[in-house]
Amino acid sequence: MTNSTSTSTALRPAAPTAPAHTPRINFAKAAPKAFKALIGFDAAAREGLDPALVELIQIRASLLNGCAYCLHMHTSDARKAGEDEARLHMIGVWREARNFFTEKEQAALALTEAVTLVPHAGVPDDVYARAARHFDETELARVLALIFTINTWNRIALSTGKVAGEDERTAR
């Protein structure tokens, strides 16, 4: 007699397990000048921008890049800054949840997607024009710089095997 439960269980794929963390290079220690330059670029990009907008941009890019380390860091930062939990849940589907975001935030999220996914379709003129309607030239340059920096941070975290939930900023 066959046990149907064990048969059906055997047909289901095993639950994925987290890959073992293999230590990788500590970018900050191995390339301190590059790391410090990026920190300076990041700080300059944020200057004068609404902190809530900064976190929305960083969260959206981190979602698109699949960077769990940065996603955890920036959602935590957003919560600490008082960001509404419902908005955090809607960032990944902001087009379907437009009522959660201002027109300016939507323009920034669209630009974030276009720049982050630039190999797919470039940065369409309509996306750029929409952002340009909501940000003056200086703000738009800073938004672009912020998008550039979060994409770089995502690539550093992914390449060096950063683990979500660990925040090295607190260890400094």
Q: Calculate the alpha carbon distances from 172 to 42, 92, 120, 168 in Å.
A: 17, 31, 37, 7
Looking at residue 55, its pLDDT comes to 97
Looking at residue 4, its pLDDT comes to 46
d(CA 151, CA 33): 19
Q: Which of 53, 56, 61 is nearest to 134 (CA)?
A: 53
- Going by pLDDT thresholds of 50, 70 and 90, the confidence category of residue 172 is very low
Tens digit of each residue's pLDDT (9 = 90 or more) over 67-123: 999 999 999 999 999 999 999 999 999 999 999 999 999 999 999 999 999 999 899
Whole-prediction pTM value?
0.83
Q: What six digits make up the tokens of 97?
A: 């949840």
The mean pLDDT of 116-136, rounded to a whole number, is 96
